[in-house]
Structure 1
Amino acid sequence: MRAALAGALLLAGCVAPPAREPALPAAPAPAPIAQPPAAPVVRIEGPAIQGGLLHGQVTPGATLTLDGRPVPVAPDGAFVIGFDRDAPPAAVLVATRPGTTLRQETRLPVAPRDWKIERVDAPYRAGRTSEEFAALRPGELAQIVAARAMRTDATGWRQRFVWPARGRQSGWFGSQRVYQGQPGSYHSGADVAVPTGTPVIAPADGVVILAAERPFTLEGNLLMIDHGMGVSTALLHLSRIDVRVGDHVRQGQPVALSGATGRVTGPHLHWGLQWSGAKLDPLLVVGVGP
Structure 2
Amino acid sequence: MFSHLLRIFLIWGLSLQLGWAVELKGSLTQGGLIIGHTESNAQVFLDNQPIQISENGLFLLGFGRDAKQDIVLKIILPDGTKEIKKLNIIQREYKIQRINGISESKVTPNNNHLSRIQEEAALVRKARTTNDHRTDFLTGFIWPAKGSITGVYGSQRILNGKPKTPHYGVDIAAPAGTLVKAPAAGIVTLAHPNMFLSGGTLILDHGYGLSSAFLHLQQILVKKGNRIEQGAPIAKIGTTGRVTGAHLDWRINLFQTRLDPQFLVPPMGEINKK
Calculate percent identity across the aligned residue pairs: 36
If the length of structure 1 is used for normalisation, what is the TM-score? 0.80
Superposed, 1:124-135 pairs within 5 Å as 125=104, 126-131=107-112, 133-135=113-115
Q: Select which of 244, 256, 268 maps to 1:277.
A: 256
Separation in 2, partners of 1:46, 1:161: 13
User: Does the alignment pair 1:87 with 2:67?
Assistant: yes
Separation in 1, partners of 2:38, 2:126: 30
Aligned-residue offset at 1:127: 2.1
Separation in 2, partners of 1:226, 1:205: 8
Aligned-residue offset at 1:182: 4.4
User: Does the alignment pair 1:110 with 2:111?
Assistant: no
SS at match of 1:264: coil
Superposed, 1:167-182 pairs within 5 Å as 167-179=147-159, 182=162
Separation in 2, partners of 1:145, 1:65: 23
- Opposite residue 218 of structure 2, the aligned amino acid is S
**C-alpha distance 174-140 of structure 1, shift in aligned 2 (>3 A):** same
Separation in 1, partners of 2:191, 2:134: 17
Task: Give the corresponding residue for 2:213.
Answer: 234
Aligned-residue offset at 1:123: 7.9
Separation in 2, partners of 1:164, 1:114: 26
Separation in 1, partners of 2:48, 2:116: 35
Aligned-residue offset at 1:76: 2.2
The answer for unaligned runs of 5 or more in structure 1 is 1-36
If the length of structure 2 is used for normalisation, what is the TM-score? 0.84
**C-alpha distance 150-122 of structure 1, shift in aligned 2 (>3 A):** same
Separation in 2, partners of 1:124, 1:183: 15
Per-residue Cα deviation, 1:268-287 (whole angstroms, up to 9, x for no partner): 10001111322111111213
**C-alpha distance 92-236 of structure 1, shift in aligned 2 (>3 A):** same
- Opposite residue 102 of structure 1, the aligned amino acid is T
Aligned-residue offset at 1:47: 4.9
Per-residue Cα deviation, 1:115-161 (whole angstroms, up to 9, x for no partner): 11223455895323251x23322321221121111223432221221
Task: Give the corresponding residue for 2:21.
Answer: 41
- Opposite residue 255 of structure 1, the aligned amino acid is I
**C-alpha distance 50-227 of structure 1, shift in aligned 2 (>3 A):** same
Greater shift, 162-171 or 141-150, is seen at 141-150
Q: Say whether the 8 Å CA contact 2:130–2:255 is kept in structure 1.
A: no
Q: Say whether the 8 Å CA contact 2:32–2:64 is kept in structure 1.
A: yes
Separation in 2, partners of 1:140, 1:177: 23
Separation in 1, partners of 2:262, 2:248: 14
Flag the structure with larger Rg: 1
Q: Say whether the 8 Å CA contact 2:201–2:213 is kept in structure 1.
A: yes
Greater shift, 222-231 or 156-165, is seen at 156-165
Aligned-residue offset at 1:38: 5.1
User: Does the alignment pair 1:287 with 2:266?
Assistant: yes
Higher strand share: 2
Q: Say whether the 8 Å CA contact 1:38–1:102 is kept in structure 2.
A: no
- Opposite residue 244 of structure 1, the aligned amino acid is K
Q: Say whether the 8 Å CA contact 1:120–1:179 is kept in structure 2.
A: yes
Separation in 2, partners of 1:250, 1:289: 21
Superposed, 1:1-290 pairs within 5 Å as 41-98=21-78, 100-120=79-99, 125=104, 126-131=107-112, 133-179=113-159, 182-212=162-192, 214-289=193-268
Q: Say whether the 8 Å CA contact 2:67–2:89 is kept in structure 1.
A: yes
* Aligned residue-pair number: 251
Q: Say whether the 8 Å CA contact 2:130–2:209 is kept in structure 1.
A: no
Separation in 1, partners of 2:131, 2:154: 27
